[in-house]
Amino acid sequence: MAVPKADELFKSIDYTPPATGWMETPVDFSPGNWCYPAKPEILKSINFPNPREWSPEDEDWKLPPNWRDIVHQGFVERLEKYRSLKLFMDICVRCGACADKCHFFIGSGDPKNMPVLRAELMRSIYRKDFTLAGKILSKLTGSRVMEEDVLKEWFIYFYQCTECRRCSLFCPYGIDTAEVTMMARELLHLCGIGINWIMEPVSNCNRTGNHLGIQPHAFADIVEFMVDDIEEVTGVRVKAPLNEKGHEIIFITPSGDVFADPGIYTFMGYLMLFHYLDLDYTMSTYASEGGNFGLFTSSEMMKKLNAKMYAEANRLGAKWILGGECGHMWRVINQYMDTMNGDNQGPQMITPKNPVTGTVFHNAAATKMVHITEFTSDLMKHGKLNLDPSRNDHLRVTFHDSCNPARAMGLLDEPRYVIKNVCNNFFEMPKGTIREETFCCAGGSGLNTDEIMEIRMRGGLPRGNALRYVQQKHDVNMMACICAIDRATLIPLANYWAPGVEICGTHELVGNALILPGEEQRTMDLRQEPLPGFEDEDDDWTPPNA
């Protein structure tokens, strides 16, 4: 299971397809190629069907006896519910324009990772079950009967798609393989097939309010630690209100920012900013998760988890919601939230208005939810922040567009604006790898688990290589991003493909640059690493790029 060295892995990539046709080419089920299955007790806790112990390595997946029927009926139902699915099953011309747009194909050469072929894994069943030609001329028209092997193949390849939608951008008909993947995963769930890395966070998020299952008191403790750390760096004790009623704003961010390094530094940046503004806000332990792994599970689950945001805003009497840095969270907010749960907004909610600048966020009129980089860029534009960008001068920064804000929203310039206001050294990665054409971290859609590290490193090649380019050309040593999953996944990716580059959120950089009223002279950044000129105080410090 050990991951080969980067240059060996690179040399092993071969774009020549195998000699056998794809229907005849068997799937590799050895460990490392799949994520651990969801534990039965987890599935039970959220009432998902057919929970059981099983392993992808085994011959027998202990499927329910009528699994064929379940899949077929589930397919019928989804064709009736989603025009996208029906259309995407029907109109692909197999022009192959999407083929080398997928990071998993670029890094693996496995033809089943070409988006078109990934979708064909499902289309082949569609043609057999729902089209006349497929029924009569099976083989010639690329149709096949649903067998256990097919279901198993789905499990492997629909969990090697990060739902990043890069393929969809290039397809002349906008065919979105992410949409196909979501449907396939829903069908797999009906048979009790899911992965633990997604289902455990879903279950936790449902009960405790966040992915890791941090309970309210522990959550409060962690926040308190961060307040201590901020004090250590700045000498200022910031407030961090939790579950308080009667504030104007409720702030919701992915819990990854609370518990995981380096997300915590981003979280400190938020707290410092809000303290600086004396913002009338609260956070919540009940809705302590911005992320929504329901998006990777089923539309029902996504709705259920998302519904907490409005429910908590109503309970606490908040007028609008400020959202932290998270990728898929923002896809849910931009494209699903109001559709699913808009009806549950309380009458107290209003179109968000920045209390400091007076800017009304008309572009959030329906959801009542604003992205933190929209909020902060607005403050910067109005000159409301006292900033010292030179405190980030030890960093040479690039920016990774997360898939979802890029291709399911278009939040491209706001984060750049924020970064450029707090950093003097900013460099873009090459064209074709940023903005709407950005490459995935290869750990999105719940695939940020370690048992598939080689797959992730392969999929991470395009991003890693673009990063390597700016590292060599501009000595970039920090990649900023606006996603909590990225902040976890890009670290091993950078260590592998561009060692020496660290990862941060944009509000960590804001926190470094922001001059708090009454602060002490800063000698270190939020990571408690000495700022340039103060290195001597700490002997074992080495420059990040050494």
Partner 1 sequence: MNALYSLLFVFLLVFIPLFGVGLGHLNTIFGVCIPMTAFVIFILGFAYRIFKWGKSPVPFSIPTTGGQQYAYDPETFKQSKWDNPTNGFQTFVRMALEILTFRSLFRNSSASLHEVKGEPVVAYASAKWLWLFALLFHYSFLVIVIRHLRLFLEPIPFFVNGAEFMDGILQIGAPVLYQSDLLIIAGLLFLLFRRLADAKLRYISLVNDYFPLFLIIGIAASGIYMRYYAKVDVIAIKELTMGLATFNFHVPANIDVSFYVHVFLVSVLLAYFPFSKLMHLGGVFLSPTRNMPNDSRIRHHVNPWNDPNIKPHSYEAYEKDFGPMMAEAGLPLDNPENAKGTEEA
164 binds, among ligand SF4, partner 1, ligand HEM, none (CB under 5 to 8 A by kind): ligand SF4
Q: CA–CA separation, 61 vs 152, rounded Å? A: 9
Q: How many CB atoms lie within 10 A of CB 329?
A: 29
CA 144 to chain centre: 34
Report in angstroms how near the CB of residue 318 gets to ligand SF4 at its nearest: 34
Enumerate residues 163-192 that contact ligand HEM by CB under 6 A.
Answer: 172
308 binds, among ligand HEM, ligand SF4, partner 1, none (CB under 5 to 8 A by kind): partner 1
Report in angstroms how near the CB of residue 343 gets to partner 1 at its nearest: 7
Tell me the sheet residues that pair with 371: 323
- Candidates 504, 511, 512; CA nearest to 481 is 504
Closer residue to ligand SF4 in complex, CB, 22/534: 22
Binding residue for partner 1 (CB under 8 A) from 83, 533, 536, 546?
Answer: 83
User: DSSP for 445-494?
Assistant: TTT--GGGHHHHHHHTHHHHHHHHHHHHHH---EEEES-HHHHHHHHHHH
Which residues have C-beta within 8 Å of that of residue 445, sequence separation ≥ 6?
161, 162, 163, 164, 178, 181, 295, 296, 328
Enumerate residues 77-106 that contact ligand SF4 by CB under 6 A.
Answer: 92-98, 101-102, 104
Binding track over 163-182 against partner 1, x by CB under 8 A: --x--xxxxxxxxx--x---
Maximum distance among all Cα pairs of the chain, rounded to whole angstroms: 79
Report in angstroms how near the CB of residue 522 gets to partner 1 at its nearest: 29
- Residue 331 binds ligand SF4, judged by CB under 6 A: no
Which residues have C-beta within 8 Å of that of residue 87, sequence separation ≥ 6?
173, 175
Helices (H), 317-459: 327-331, 338-341, 372-381, 403-407, 413-422, 453-459
Binding region for ligand SF4 (CB under 6 A) out of 15-23, 177-185, 382-390, 488-496: 177-185
Binding track over 444-473 against partner 1, x by CB under 8 A: -----------------xx--xx-xx--x-
Cis before 262? omega within 30: yes
| 305, 294 contact by CB (below 8 A) | yes
- Residue 13 binds partner 1, judged by CB under 8 A: yes
Q: CA–CA separation, 40 vs 338, rounded Å? A: 32
Enumerate residues 507-526 that contact ligand HEM by CB under 6 A.
Answer: none
Q: CA–CA separation, 384 vs 135, rounded Å? A: 66
Q: CA angle, 487 as apex, 389 and 385 as ends, to 5°?
A: 25
Closer residue to partner 1 in complex, CB, 1/360: 360
Report in angstroms how near the CB of residue 334 gets to partner 1 at its nearest: 5
Binding track over 312-331 against ligand HEM, x by CB under 6 A: --------------------
- Residue 137 binds ligand HEM, judged by CB under 6 A: no
Binding track over 271-310 against partner 1, x by CB under 8 A: --------------xx------------xx--xxx-xx--
Binding region for partner 1 (CB under 8 A) out of 135-143, 264-272, 480-488, 538-546: 135-143
Q: CA–CA separation, 373 vs 408, rounded Å? A: 16
3-class SS at 1?
Answer: coil
Phi, psi of 233 (to 5 degrees): -80, -40
Helices (H), 171-234: 177-190, 196-208, 216-234
Which residues have C-beta within 8 Å of that of residue 260, sequence separation ≥ 6?
484, 487, 488
Closer residue to ligand SF4 in complex, CB, 262/462: 462
Q: CA–CA separation, 42 vs 61, rounded Å? A: 18
Report in angstroms how near the CB of residue 399 gets to partner 1 at its nearest: 14
- Residue 114 binds partner 1, judged by CB under 8 A: yes
Enumerate residues 326-385 that contact partner 1 by CB under 8 A.
Answer: 333-336, 338-340, 342-343, 359-367, 369-370, 374, 377-378, 381
Binding region for ligand SF4 (CB under 6 A) out of 32-40, 63-71, 115-123, 483-491: 115-123
Q: CA–CA separation, 163 vs 49, rounded Å? A: 24
- Residue 72 binds partner 1, judged by CB under 8 A: no
- Residue 163 binds ligand SF4, judged by CB under 6 A: yes
Q: How far is CA 172 from CA 240, 249, 438, 456, in A?
A: 48, 42, 18, 28
Closer residue to partner 1 in complex, CB, 408/447: 408
- Residue 165 binds ligand SF4, judged by CB under 6 A: yes
Under rule CB under 8 A, how many of the chain's residues touch partner 1?
A: 125
Strands 369-371 and 397-400, by their bridges, are unpaired
- Candidates 413, 395, 412; CA nearest to 403 is 412
Enumerate residues 76-95 that contact ligand HEM by CB under 6 A.
Answer: 93, 95
Binding residue for partner 1 (CB under 8 A) from 22, 29, 54, 534?
Answer: 22
Binding track over 117-156 against ligand SF4, x by CB under 6 A: -x--------------------------------------
Enumerate residues 233-252 that contact partner 1 by CB under 8 A.
Answer: 242-245
- Residue 387 binds partner 1, judged by CB under 8 A: no
Dihedral (CA of 109, 454, 501, 434) sign = positive
- Residue 534 binds partner 1, judged by CB under 8 A: no
Q: CA–CA separation, 116 vs 139, rounded Å? A: 18
Residue ranges in contact with ligand SF4 by CB under 6 A = 92-98, 101-102, 104, 115-116, 118, 161-167, 171-173, 175, 177-178, 181
Residue ranges in contact with ligand HEM by CB under 6 A = 93, 95, 172
